[in-house]
């Protein structure tokens, strides 16, 4: 492929991303992530994964895109804004903003497939896979490699102009494209607001997090009941948590997204504690079958409500 074709395909991908509603698209050269391999090994050795045993699997695939796509040359990263303005009353059951609308796994993968289909119409078949938080891909590192932003102290990828309320996803392929410069600066500085605000002290000051203490882990990933020593440590989050993002100064730039799929599926801020406890499985399945909450299940949500401080 000559340089003209590389340039044209790169522009086509970024134009398609913009038309499909992505806030950003960047491209990095596929390579073995040596430093991330060390970080991941340290994370696992400290057992920060908790009961998320799947993080222990496919170590090589997580740090080497060629293990995921044969002959991989490019990692195309995308960021999609999910921020929504929503006002919960103090002590009311809260859910993370990312879960207000439809399941992002489905919505964003469809958009990635549209881009791949467009490429195939131009150049024919090529080796490619699409990833939306559903495979062993270090998405935050690849977003940084492609120039989106830096990984903050809360381990979220932060963009100076737009904050951190973004879904990240990737296309890994064997096409050689024009590559963006990596983002190399860290603009968190001496700010420790996220570290100080975390009720369970999950966030460390060195850009790492003990995932086994994160509220999102307790309310989504943990299949068992929340351990007694962590119950009542927070007062409102029943699915996910946005505390470390809400206090981050960079999120003063966050703007509500316009994607219809991510508009709230229901009036979440009208749901009180007893409303959640009175819901039947039939109603939960019918109203929230397209929600990310559906994967956790009603029993888990109700267990979360009983384990924390709510009105």
pLDDT tens readout for residues 119-129:
999 999 999 99
Q: 168-196, pLDDT tens digit by residue?
A: 999 999 999 999 999 999 999 999 999 99
Q: 34-85, pLDDT tens digit by residue?
A: 777 666 666 666 665 666 555 556 566 677 899 889 999 999 999 999 999 9
134, 23: one domain: yes
Q: Of 56-60, 225-229, 257-261, give the lowest mean pLDDT range.
A: 56-60
Containing domain of residue 167, as a range?
3-86+97-173
- Which position has the higher pLDDT, 49 or 161? 161
Pairing of strands 157-158, 150-151: antiparallel
Note whether residue 58 is domain-resident: yes
9, 147: one domain: yes
How does 202-215 read in b/e, with b if 16+ C-beta sit within 10 Å?
bbeeeebbbbbbbb
DSSP H or E run through 6:
helix 3-19
133 is catalytic: yes
Name the catalytic one among 64, 103, 110, 133: 133
User: For 116-142, what is the mean pLDDT?
Assistant: 91
Note whether residue 185 is domain-resident: no
212, 271: one domain: yes
Per-residue confidence (pLDDT) for residue 136, from 0 to 100: 75
* CA-to-CA separations, 12 to 9, 74, 84, 140, in angstroms, rounded: 5, 15, 29, 23
**Whether the predicted model's global pTM rises above the 0.85 cut:** yes
Single residue among 126, 144, 173 that ends a domain in this structure: 173
Note whether residue 184 is domain-resident: no
Per-residue confidence (pLDDT) for residue 2, from 0 to 100: 47
239, 275: one domain: yes
25, 167: one domain: yes
Per-residue confidence (pLDDT) for residue 285, from 0 to 100: 92
Say how far apart CA 170 and CA 8 lie, in whole Å: 19
51, 143: one domain: yes
**Number of folded domains in the chain?**
2
Per-residue confidence (pLDDT) for residue 185, from 0 to 100: 95
Share of the chain above pLDDT 90, in %: 73
161, 199: one domain: no
């Amino acid at each position: 492929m000559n340089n003209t074709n590389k340039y044209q395909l790169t522009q086509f991908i970024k134009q398609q991303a913009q038309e499909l509603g992505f806030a950003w698209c960047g491209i990095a050269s596929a390579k073995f992530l040596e430093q991330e391999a060390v970080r991941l090994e340290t994370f696992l050795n400290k057992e920060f994964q908790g009961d998320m045993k799947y993080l222990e699997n496919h170590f090589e695939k997580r740090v080497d895109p060629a293990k995921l796509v044969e002959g991989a040359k490019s990692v195309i990263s995308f960021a999609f804004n999910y921020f929504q303005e929503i006002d919960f009353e103090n002590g009311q059951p809260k859910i993370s903003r990312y879960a207000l609308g439809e399941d992002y796994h489905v919505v964003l993968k469809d958009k990635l497939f549209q881009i791949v289909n467009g490429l195939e119409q131009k150049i024919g078949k090529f080796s490619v896979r699409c990833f939306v938080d559903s495979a062993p891909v270090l998405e935050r590192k690849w977003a940084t490699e492609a120039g989106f932003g830096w990984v903050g102290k809360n381990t979220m990828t932060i963009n100076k102009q737009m904050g951190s309320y973004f879904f990240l996803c990737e296309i890994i392929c064997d096409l050689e494209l024009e590559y963006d410069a990596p983002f190399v600066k860290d603009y968190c500085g001496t700010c420790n607001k996220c570290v100080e605000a975390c009720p369970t002290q999950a966030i460390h000051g060195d850009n790492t997090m003990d995932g086994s203490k994160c509220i999102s882990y307790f309310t989504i990933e943990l299949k068992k009941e929340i351990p007694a020593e962590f119950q009542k440590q927070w007062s409102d989050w029943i699915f996910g948590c946005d505390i470390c993002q809400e206090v981050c100064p960079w999120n003063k730039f966050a703007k509500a997204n316009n994607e219809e799929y991510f508009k709230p599926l229901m009036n979440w801020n009208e749901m009180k504690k007893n409303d959640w406890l009175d819901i039947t499985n039939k109603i939960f399945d019918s109203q929230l079958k397209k929600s990310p909450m559906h994967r956790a299940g009603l029993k888990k949500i109700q267990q979360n409500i009983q384990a924390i401080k709510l009105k």
